[in-house]
Every structure is written in C-alpha cells, then in structure tokens.
Amino acid sequence: MLNGIWENNKYGYISSSLRLKAMLSVLRKYDIVRGMNPLKMRLILEALGPTFVKLGQVLSMRPDFLPSEYVYELSKLQTKANPLSFEVIKTVIEKEYAQKWTNIFESIDETALGSASMAQVHSAVLKNGERVVIKVQRPGIYDVMAQDIMLLKRTVSLLQLFSKSRGVIDFMAVLDEMWSITKQEMDFMMEADHLDEFRHLNSDDPNVGCPQVYRRLTTARILVMEYIDGIRIDEIDKLKQAGYNVEQLGRNLGKNYIKQIIKDGYFHADPHSGNIWVRNGKIIWLDLGMMGRLSQQERSALKKAVYALAHNDTFAMKSAILSLGIARGKINHIKLYEDVDTLMMRYNNMRFDELHLGQLSQDIIAVLRQHNLGIIPGLSMFARGIMTIDGIMRITCPKISFVDILKDQMQSDFSKNFNWRDELKKIRQDGYSLMYRSMQLPEQLSDMIKMTMSGQTKVNLDLTGSEEPLKNFDKMINKLIIGIISSALLLGSSIICTTNMTPKFLEIPFLGVLGYLAALILCARLLISIWRHR
C-alpha cells in the first residue's frame, strides 16, 4: 500500500516523482483502465493513503456529486494504518512538551490501542495515578497530505485546461473543502472544543457522556483524554453478560441522537459502533473530530418534511425540500412538484413506524440533485449518521422503531414548548396584521389603477415550460427576417442594374452584382437551415 512508503520514511515525506510513481502503481494494480465501480473506487482510495481516504470521506458526504451507490460504498472507508514504533511516539511527545515524557506520565503502554492514518492512540497513566488515553498525531502527516493536495490540484488544473468544460463536479471546490476539514481534524485543540461543547449540551442526560479532556496536557498534536473502559455498543453478548438491558440502551441511543439533531443541531457525524461504547450504563461517544451542524431553519425543514410525509402533504414537502437546498439556477417548480408528488406516492402505503429516515433523506437528496439544488453539508452528514444509527438500533433493539422515537421526541418538544398565552398573543398579532393589510387593499388597488392608466405598470411573466416553444418561435422569426432581407437585396439590386451607375462589372453596375451575391448567399443559408430542420 502507498501509505507504507511514507510510514517507513523518518519524516513521512517523499519526493513528488516517487509519490506519483507509487500512485500509478496502485492504479495499475486495480486495472483502472477497465472501468470503475463503487468497490474498486473504495479499495483504490484506501490503497492510495490518508489524503485519498479523506477525499473519499468528503465525497461520501456530498451526494450531490456522486451516485448513491458510490456514496454508500465510500462511507465504509477505513483509515487503519500500520502502527508507528513506540520510539517515534515518545519522540513526538517529548518534542511537543519540550521535556521528557517521564516528567508527565508514570507509564505509557507501548502497544497502540489503535492506529489510523492521521493519529495513533496509546493508554497511559499520569503521575497522580489516573488512567488516560493519549492521541498522538503522526509525524509528517501534514506535509504528506499537503503534497498530495498540491499534486491533485495540478492534475485537476491540467484536466480543466485540456477539457472544453469543467464538468458536473467542481473538483477544486471538493479539494478545498477536504483540506479545510482535514486541517481542522489535525488540530486536536478543536477536537477538545468539540468534546467540551458536546458534554455541555448533554450534561442534563444521565444516560450519555463523552471522555473528559485534560486541557493542560492537550496541544495541537497531542490530545489527552479520560480512559474509557467499557463495551462496544454492538457487542451484544458482552453487554448481556454484564447485565445490561440491551433494548433500553438502543432506545437511549436513538433518543440521544434525535436530540442531537432536532434540539441541539450539533451531532456526531461518524456514529459507527466503534465510536459508541457503554460504561456503567451510560452511552459514551468517542472520536468527536468530525461534528455536524444544522441551523434552526434546517432543523425546522427536517421536521416539516417528516410532518408532510405523515400527513401526505405534497406542498409542505416541496417547501421543506426547497428550504434544504441551495438554488444554483432557475427552478422548474411544476416539475419539482411532480417529482415530490412521486416521492410522496412511494411512501403513501407505508406505515409510519416502517419509515426509514436514512432512506427518506437519500430520496430527498436525489430530488435536490435532479433539480440542480445544492445540498447543505449538514443534510448529507445527517443522512449518513441516521442510516448508521438506524443500523445499530436494528441490532440492539429491533422491535423499537427509530421513527417512533422521533415522533415521541417531536410531540414532547411541542408539549413542552407550547404555551397557550403565547399562542393567543400570536393569534391576536396575526389577526391585527391581517386586518391592517386588508384595510390597505383599496388604497393599493387605487394606486395600481392610476399607474396602469398612466402607462407605468410593468408585468413580469415567468412561463414555466415555455422555453422550447419560444426557442422555435425565435428561429422562425430569424428565418422570416433573412427572407425579407434577401427579397430587399434582390429588388434593390434589380433597380440598380437598370441604371448607369459606376463602377461596372461586365457592363452591370458593381453594387447590383454584390447585392445579387449577398441575396444568393442568404437564400442558400435559409434553404440549408430549412432542409436540416424539416
């Protein structure tokens, strides 16, 4: 594998020529010239190393760029790597702290708990006897990935230079987004901030937690956290042997993830089972390097979409979809309504408890793609996260519907936030506003009539679906104009030929000859155009 090249290098950096040679060898190994499929693409990205794995992960969160089968396969990308030697880890720690590691830690386990492409994790014991986990960034990883980004950007620039169009995917934008996310993940101070924010938002939930951060020992390249001694959420037999109610754990997991999305708008973007552990009856979330965010408007749109589906309200679903998309051009609202209606019919005979939110999210994203509506990053992260959590819940509590938990949570929020005094006040304000606008209608109608009579009224019409007829009409007018000009040239040239105007060509006035030639050329073009479109 490619990452083996830089893993064996002391500083993790190799020359551009050697890097390119290694990339080409991977492409040859997977016989890329014979075509691409989702599985092959994932294996190639994993073989090419951390930069390409991260690129694949970013693309998996951008379903507006790739078909759903590729998005699903890329979401499985693994970032495992061969572990670094303990000597390298000690060197990094001592360089970062500018002192011997033994001054801070009583001991560090030489065997890594986990080794990924960007960092390696070891358990350790502090001088005061507390057991912790140290996350150490791989030396030279920043340089390796920066070099790969540079090579990729050069390649994309060359492809755009020799291509007539930039294509559907703006790879430069994808690379910039990937590099921005990667730099954030490589700053462990930011992950520490994520842990603190997550803990604060979930402090009132006794069933949920995350590791405590040791701020005084955390730097941009080293993260020191509380050691979590527990059981993975998908290790059902171990959980049952430990006396846990697995079904209740699954329910708590679903309720908390819905709360992260609907209430907090701040949720774990990679909630696979390896990042969810159980300790002392509490669900502990790990690896908060990548978190998703949803604005209040986006959360309201998601709730509206679920409500619209439950009440078979196509107009409400269309409104929700428009709120979740970013318009990149003109929208064909009639076609959009038809596609949304087709989407609603697909779920029409399905019971509410049979609904899969992850699949619904993918269907909404597909509609957005069809109508050239940009997809907010939070929505694709939400879809990916929901599908992952739904899969975990099918293992832990198959009898409990994830959608039922969502419905209960939404009803609970409505009951909790409902205040009849506030609602009456809002009704009074809306009634007064409606009455005030109604009183202004005669005045506005009078102004509109005056403007119309004085010729100041302008009417803008947007006739959806009229583009093709108007284009044909435009072509017809152009042909008519060419015919009129040709007739005028022939008539004018004939009149000129009856005079003694000079200069002459073969005793015929020269301007008359030019007029005949111009008329013949225009007539020939007109006949060719008619023949092509007959």
Residues acting as catalytic residues: 270
Residue 46 one-letter amino acid: E
CA distances from 471 to 335, 370, 465, 475 (A): 20, 23, 11, 6
CA distances from 449 to 310, 436, 439, 459, 461 (A): 45, 21, 17, 13, 19
Which residue matches tokens 């006949």? 527
C-alpha span between 28 and 249 (Å, rounded): 47
C-alpha span between 117 and 411 (Å, rounded): 43
Q: What is the DSSP string of 3-22?
A: HHHHHTSSSS---HHHHHHH
- Kindly state the tokens that stand for 29: 């190994």
* Three-point CA angle 280, 281, 284, nearest 5°: 85
C-alpha span between 275 and 287 (Å, rounded): 6
- Kindly state the tokens that stand for 149: 């980004």
Helix, strand or coil for residue 444? helix
Helix, strand or coil for residue 212? coil
Per-residue H/E/C for 27-76 = HHHCCHHHCCCHHHHHHHHHHHCHHHHHHHHHHHCCCCCCCHHHHHHHCC
